[in-house]
Amino acid sequence: MTMHSEGSSEPLLSSLGRPVLRGRRGSNLGDLVFSGSTAILAGSVIALVGSIVVLLTVFAWQSISRYGLGFVGGSVWDPIFERFGVLPFVYGTLVTSLLALLLATPIALGAALYAGEYSPAWLREPVAFLVELLAVIPSVIYGLWGFLVLAPVMKTWVEPTLKGSVGQVPLLGALFSGPILGRDLLIGGVILAVMILPTVASVAREVVLAVPRTQREGMIALGATKWEMIQGAVLPYARSGIIGAAMLGLARAMGETMAVTMVIGNSSTKISPSLFTPGYTMASAIANQFTEADTALYFSAIVEVALILLLVSVATNVAARVLVWSVSRGPAGGVRA
């Protein structure tokens, strides 16, 4: 390589005669501007989240100062006597979101594996497009479909079948006990499962496609079948990404409003193990009662529900990141979400 003095402005030349970039003394102004701009943009995201928390805290302060931790542990919601407790709303949010996750994840993973491993090349893109199309359907459309189609089907066929079969099993039967009303936690969980399915399936498909070809070829070379190759090479490598996809779907389910509001019942604050119980989620409670908050304390309590929903969502995402991190450090490795 040709040598030049430190102060020379000529580019260095490699042995092939091609110019090689050389560092200069001092910092480049363009790099400083770009670095500063990206730092400001990154900081603005943190500032936005912080400002939302501060704003909600300010408007919810009257409720926070009056009820304290009793607001989180209370199970009575009575605006007339100004007694507010958010525990039934938290319960409804967690039950419907976890139910949606349990229903949607196996279907989404199956769709991702089919699109990435089994489908013909000409069918992969149409399948991926149709799955992703489900993600752009407005929430209110899902709500109308759930109200007009899903709820009657569940009330007439599915829920009586579950009550007559699984409902007779000890302990497990408590989940399917009580009267069938057609607007309950179970239907809310099912509609949420349909809504988060495209998100989980799309991310899981990309994770499956990111598994190196050498992983697959190594298993096939050892005489493995297609399923053994997926089981032994693809799924272990992609498991952290799949968990991340599921947690992303869970986060969306927890914050969904309109669709679940139209099918969950919104008529009971009873905490019951039965999935046939009408209830609220935190998001549906805010949507239903925000315009009815005619006193300062009532409005403050509604805003505190929003604050708790935000904190629960943040806690869920932090737990998801810790779970993905712990899985990716395992011996099998994985694609980081």
pLDDT bracket for residue 105 (50, 70, 90)? very high
Residue 202 to residue 95: CA distance in whole angstroms: 24
More confident residue, 328 or 28: 28
Q: Which helix (H) or strand (E) holds 20?
A: strand 19-20
Among residues of the chain, what percentage have pLDDT more than 70? 90
Hey, which residues does 165 pair with through a beta bridge?
none
What pLDDT does residue 3 have? 47
Cα 76 to the center of its chain, rounded Å: 29
What pLDDT does residue 270 have? 84
Q: In sequence order, what are the residues at sequence separation of 6 or more whose Cβ sits closer than 8 angstroms to the Cβ of residue 152?
A: 182
CATH architecture of 48-328: Orthogonal Bundle (1.10)
Q: What DSSP string describes 69-115? A: THHHH---EETTTTEE--HHHHHHHHHHHHHHHHHHHHHHHHHHHII
Residue 4: pLDDT over 60: no
Domain coordinates of the chain in residue numbers?
48-328
More confident residue, 47 or 1: 47
Contact 10, 24 (CB under 8 A): no
To the nearest 10 degrees (0 to 180), the angle between helices 235-255 and 87-113 is 140
- The residue-averaged pLDDT of 64-88 equals 93
Record the pTM. 0.85
pLDDT bracket for residue 34 (50, 70, 90)? very high
Q: How far is CA 297 from CA 255, 293, 309, in A?
A: 24, 8, 18
